[in-house]
Amino acid sequence: MPIRRAGGLLEESLTHSIIGGFFEVYSELGYGFLESVYLAALERELRSRGHSVSRELSVRVIYKGEEIAWQRLDMVVDDKVVIEVKASDQLPRTSERQLFNYLKSTKLEVGLLLLFGPKPFVKRVYSATN
């Protein structure tokens, strides 16, 4: 369920810009490249839109107060939205749960799951802390 704040969805204008960038990249490149190609193009597109972009950001996983592992995020935009990119025929079933766990690890509230597949697909994911 989308999280609403006064005036609209949480990070609505930012996610709108990111989604616009996703469709711009998809219309230019189409389907069939590796995730790394789409991530590089999306980073360039988002920077051209005035956003700060962190790529392959490592975050700690904490269990009962202790660091047990690190995981790598595809992208974080403006220190507010986690981006998970997939480039495949179908979205893997675990993708949404993976993004949800990234949000949990970062304490960020909004994530976008972007599929560069035969049909482009976008899903907003919100943390459960709200």
Task: Provide the strand spans (E) within 12-65.
Answer: 53-63
Q: How far does Cα 108 stand from its chain's mean position?
A: 11
pLDDT at position 125, please? Answer: 85
**pLDDT at position 2 over 90:** no
> What rounded mean pLDDT belongs to the chain?
89
**pLDDT at position 5 over 60:** no
Specify the long-range contacts of residues 68-76, CB closer than 8 Å, at least 24 apart. Answer: 71/101, 71/102, 71/105, 73/102, 73/106, 74/35, 74/39, 75/39, 75/42, 75/43, 76/106, 76/108
Side-chain half-sphere CA neighbours of 107 within 13 A? 2
Q: Is the full-model pTM beyond 0.95?
A: no
pLDDT at position 6, please? Answer: 45
Give me the DSSP letters along 91-106: --TTHHHHHHHHHHHH
**pLDDT at position 22 over 80:** yes
What domains lie within the chain, and their CATH numbers? 9-126 (3.90.320.10)
